[in-house]
Structure 1
Amino acid sequence: MQSQGFVQISDKDLTEIELHSVDSISDLHRTHPEQHGKGSRPPRPRPPSINGKLQTLDRPVACQTGHRMRTSRLKQLSSTCVPFTWRYSVACVAVILVLITLILIFSFLVQQSRALHTLSEMVSQRQETAEEISILVQELQDLRRNLTTSRDRH
């Protein structure tokens, strides 16, 4: 049996492991922003230089140029909340516009109903008035006949 001992790890390997860990944590934070803790993110260690050149791993262009990407938690939260808030606001505005349209249509229909009711009352009153006038005209004609026949008798 061989005895297990400690394996010697070089500084370069440790740096690579640290970089890989930081990248994994960063990816986790990017994919699950709601699970961030309250602590600050640890700074990313620089990769070891080979032949005096700085290694660039899979970093964004802004990081490759040497500019540090600064994103606060507020910006991350607002960038994830803005689309939801925007969709929610648009949905609210759409619902309000539909409700206003329905109210306007309903009030227009009520107004038209009242106008039709008033118009039908006026038509029925005119019909009654026309019937009364035709009865009066008939009575006048009867009275005229009676008068003319009574004059002819005298």
Structure 2
Amino acid sequence: MQSQGVPPAPSTPLGFVQISDKDLTEIELHSVDSISDLHRAHPEQHGKGCRPARPKPPSINGKLQSLDKPAICQSGHQMRRSHLKQLSSMCIPCMWRYSLACVALTLILLTLILIFSFLVQQSRALHTLSEMVSQRQETTEEISILIQELQALRRNLTALGDRH
């Protein structure tokens, strides 16, 4: 018993629903947008050997055919070139950073060597200066002893000259 104005139910099996070409196109466009968003969010995953599958327009009857399914990974000569380009683009900044680190380390070592040699030179100069100061003190002490002896001799001579 069917009521008036209600069309009869379609004759498709219960598990399958027909999708129109317009709906299928919208689904594919949404998938492409999602994949593009993923590539923008994770750029390091892009170009790792697998190219993103590009959706093909839907077939005329609205069903995917086995020919419409995209290949998952396209390998070949181009992929090797992209790996080489990626590797060289990664190595150049690494080598640049490595060279800068080597130059900086060399400059630091040269600076330390110059500072050390300056300190050694100053140490030698201080040692020589301290030796000269100690020699001067010894000389001053000898001179003061000689002056005392001369004064004693003068007194003795003056005392002898007074007696005669």
Instruction: Give the partner amino acid of 1:147.
Output: L
Give the superposition deviation at 1:100.
1.6
Which residue in the other structure is 1:115 paired with?
A: 125
**TM-score scaled by structure 1?**
0.55
Instruction: Give the partner amino acid of 1:31.
Output: E
Give the superposition deviation at 1:99.
2.1
**TM-score scaled by structure 2?**
0.52
Give the superposition deviation at 1:128.
1.4
Distance 1:32 1:78 in 2: 17
Q: Which has the higher contact order (CA 8 A, sep 6+)?
A: 2
Query: Once the two structures are superposed, what CA deviation does each residue of 1:74-103 show, in whole Å capped at 9, x if it has no partner?
Result: 232111111122112212211221122122
Cα RMSD between the aligned structures? 3.8
Which residue in the other structure is 2:146 paired with?
A: 136
Between the two proteins, the alignment pairs up a number of residues equal to 116
Instruction: Give the partner amino acid of 1:139.
Output: E
Distance 1:5 1:134 in 2: 124
- Of 116, 121, 145, the match for 1:106: 116
- Of 106, 110, 114, the match for 1:96: 106
Structure 1 unpaired stretches of 5+: 49-67
Distance 2:45 2:114 in 1: 46
- Of 27, 44, 58, the match for 1:31: 44
Give the superposition deviation at 1:133.
0.7
Give the superposition deviation at 1:148.
2.6
Q: Does 1:124 align with 2:134?
A: yes
Name the larger-Rg structure.
2
Structure 2 unpaired stretches of 5+: 1-10, 58-77
Which residue in the other structure is 1:53 paired with?
A: none
